Structure 1
Amino acid sequence: MADGLIDNNGASVTVSLQVTRPISSYTVNLADESPVGRADFVDSPDGDRIFFHTEIDQEFGGQGLAGLLVREALADSIRKNLTVVPVCPLFARHLRKHGEEFVADGGVFHRPTPADIALVKRSVAEAL
Structure 2
Amino acid sequence: MTDEIHDNKDLKRYELKVGDQVAVVTYNLSEPNLMITETLVPEALEGQGIASRLAKHVLADAKERGLLILPVCPFFSAYLQKHPEHAEAVHPTYRGILGI
Shorter-chain TM-score tier = 0.7 to 0.9
Q: Is the 8 A contact 1:36 1:60 kept in 2?
A: no
Corresponding residue of 2:37: 52
Structure 1 runs of 4+ aligned residues shifted over 6 Å read none
Corresponding residue of 1:25: 13
Equivalent position amino acid for 1:88 in 2: C
- Tell me by how many angstroms 1:13 deviates: 3.4
Residues matched between the structures, number: 94
- Tell me by how many angstroms 1:47 deviates: 1.3
Deviations 1:12-41 (A, max 9, x none): 432111002xx51001123x6x45210000
Q: How many angstroms apart in 2 are the aligned matches of 1:29 and 1:53?
A: 17
The partner residue of 1:38 within 24, 28, 34 is: 24
Q: Secondary structure at the match of 2:36?
A: strand
Structure 2 length-normalised TM: 0.81
Instruction: Could you tell me which runs of 5 or more consecutive residues in structure 1 were left unpaired when the two chains were aligned.
Output: 1-10, 113-128
Instruction: Could you tell me which runs of 5 or more consecutive residues in structure 2 were left unpaired when the two chains were aligned.
Output: 96-100
User: What is the root-mean-square deviation in Å for CA atoms of aligned residues?
Assistant: 2.1
Q: Is the 8 A contact 1:49 1:82 kept in 2?
A: yes
Structure 1 length-normalised TM: 0.65
